[in-house]
Amino acid sequence: MKIASLFGQGRTVFSCEVFPPKKTSPVDTIYKTLDGLKDLKPDFISVTFGAGGSQVNQSTWEIASIIENQYKIPAMAHLTCVRSTPGEVAEVLSQLKASNVENILALRGDRTPDMPPKTDFLHADELVSFILRRGDFGVSAACYPEGHLESPDLVSDIRYLKQKVDAGAQHLVSQLFFDNEEYFRFLERCRIAGINVPIEAGIMPVLSKSSIERMVSMCGASLPRKLTRILGRYGDHPEALREAGLAYAIDQISELIAEGVDGIHLYTMNNPEVAKQIAGSISSIRAV
């Protein structure tokens, strides 16, 4: 099933993201996470592309295959430009096709100082085109409500996003954000630019002050005053911050659904209990 076909059914699509285990852990350790997520009945689960070498990268399609074939949930495997040559992408596509995985999230990927990037694909739109020339895949792409850190301005960022959609991306997943107003303004810019594919809102619950500060520094998401106050008051109290962070995420999702967002993509951090709490709190809201 192509992920783009899930939209337009009169309900809010709900999906989750997981990441491969560390290189020192067997791929089987992902079963605990997936066992916890399956009861939530997500519309699909995406699997990130590891930055730790071929072993991690291979586990991406292995986990996607497990999700698709054992759990019978549509899977979306991540592929990145900075970690892939055309030959490597072609090999992964063959593996995915043989495993009945037909959905891919095409990304440029984050550059890291200790791993020189591959340069065959410079931008995600090139990877989107390459994938679509080599099989009947459903291809998705990423978007950035507050603009990519490397974009010169928001107008340029939307222009780059339009190039990905014009190349064939049928569905978009947003980077995490904490200010819904920023997301609504982003949606308006997209529609004005003629970007009319489904756009899912990427939500990451705040469970740790240090991890959120690290993520914000990497992706450029702003922290609204309400969330800053929460971090200031509860940042040194893990249990209190967990409760407040979950409440903030649930409130954020509730407003997005009320405004008619296409879908919610939950960054689970491989924590099924957190995903269960959030999904349980919004189950009735999604059904309306």
Q: What are the residue numbers of the active site?
A: 17
Helix (H) or strand (E) holding 16: strand 13-18
Q: Which of helix, strand or coil describes residue 202?
A: strand
Q: How many CB atoms lie within 10 A of CB 55?
A: 13
- Identify the three-state secondary structure at position 80: strand
| Burial (0-12, 13-18, 19+ Cβ within 10 Å), 88 | middle
How many residues are there in the chain? 288
Nearest by Cα to 19 from 59, 65, 73, 53: 59
Nearest to 6 by CA among 105, 103, 109, 115: 103
Can you list the alpha helix ranges (DSSP code H) found in 41-179? 54-69, 86-98, 124-133, 154-167
Residue 86 half-sphere exposure toward CB, CA atoms < 13 A: 8
Query: Is 268 within 8 Å of 275 (Cβ atoms)?
Result: yes
